[in-house]
Amino acid sequence: MRRLIVSDIHGNLEALEAVARDARGLYDEVACCGDIVDYGASPREAIAWIRAAGAMVVRGNHDRAAWEPGLRESFTPAARIAAEWCAHVLSAQDLEWLRGLPAGPIWGDEFGLAHGSPEDEDTYLESTADVRGIDLLLQRSLCFFGHTHVQGGWEWQPGGIRRMSGPSAGEPERVVELDPDALYLINPGSVGQPRDRDPRAAYAIWNSAQRLLAYRRVPYDIEFAQRRIVAAGLPRSLALRLAVGR
Ligand code: ZN
């Protein structure tokens, strides 16, 4: 089975469509680590795309903030404005669908899905210190996660933990063969608001038969996405950061 793994789409339809075009023919199913909405100008379209794909999905904190207003109090001012705008433009059916999304982690036959840490859906896994002991919580040898908007992850071997990373600037992909005896936490990166200094949309393809993981990046029309964010009346900072990937 070949799966397209996406995370942190954040209502960026231009980035999502670029990923879908780039990945065409490379996958059979879709899995999503949450944060489908907020920040970008197209939360409804992003939800529609994920639903049409029949994706396996866990909720992100921004998916939750759409129907749980109290959560927005912990957000930055720009994120709070975006969450309020998003809750206003989503339909009752969109909100109901978001409300029905499961909290991570969820465990499929071949892998798990989480938004933040498999220990707690809202916890950011940013450093190797953050993931120590998390291997004990993995019910499959592979778990995908998001939340940090940084492509990469970690591999556990008997000898220790190794950090993994995506392609460098200019490279379209980095392919890694996963060791059947190791454990993995893999972040496909953010489709719609990368924060790893590479503004290209990020995603991953997991081929379970060949045990090949491809971290991929694809350029998209950032200027158009920025214009739509500004035209929607969302904070300019949300548009500007797309160009720098931070
Ligand atoms: Zn996010």
Ligand 1 geometric centre to CA of 143 (Å): 17
Ligand 1 geometric centre to CA of 78 (Å): 13
How many residues belong to the chain? Answer: 246
Question: Using an 8 Å Cβ cutoff, are 75 and 83 in contact?
Answer: yes
pLDDT at 166: 96
Ligand 1 geometric centre to CA of 35 (Å): 5
Ligand 1 geometric centre to CA of 1 (Å): 27
For residue 233, give the amino acid letter: G
Ligand 1 geometric centre to CA of 63 (Å): 9
Span 131-173, pLDDT tens digits: 999 999 999 999 999 999 999 999 999 989 999 999 999 899 9
Ligand 1 geometric centre to CA of 148 (Å): 7
pLDDT at 165: 96
Ligand 1 geometric centre to CA of 147 (Å): 5
First to last CA, the chain: 33
Ligand 1 geometric centre to CA of 58 (Å): 12
Burial of 90 (0-12, 13-18, 19+ CB in 10 A): buried
What residue segments make up the domains of the chain, in order of their start? 2-106+163-182+189-243
Ligand 1 geometric centre to CA of 170 (Å): 24
Other Cβ atoms closer than 10 A to 19: 25
* Confidence label for 13 from pLDDT (cuts 50, 70 and 90): very high
Ligand 1 geometric centre to CA of 186 (Å): 15
pLDDT at 124: 98
Those residues whose C-beta lies under 8 Å from the C-beta of residue 49, and which sit 6 or more positions away, are 13, 16, 20
The class (CATH top level) of 2-106+163-182+189-243 is alpha beta
Ligand 1 geometric centre to CA of 126 (Å): 13
Tokens of 24: 């065409």
Span 192-227, pLDDT tens digits: 999 999 999 999 999 999 999 999 999 999 999 999
Span 26-76, pLDDT tens digits: 999 999 999 999 999 999 999 999 999 999 999 999 999 999 999 999 999
| Residues above pLDDT 70, as percent of the chain | 100
Q: What is the DSSP string of 4-70?
A: EEE---TT-HHHHHHHHHHTTTS-SEEEE-S--SSSSS-HHHHHHHHHHTT-EE---HHHHHTT-GG
Interhelix angle 13-22/43-52, rounded to 10 degrees, is 30
Ligand 1 geometric centre to CA of 158 (Å): 32
State the Cα–Cα distance between residues 12 and 23, nearest whole angstrom: 17
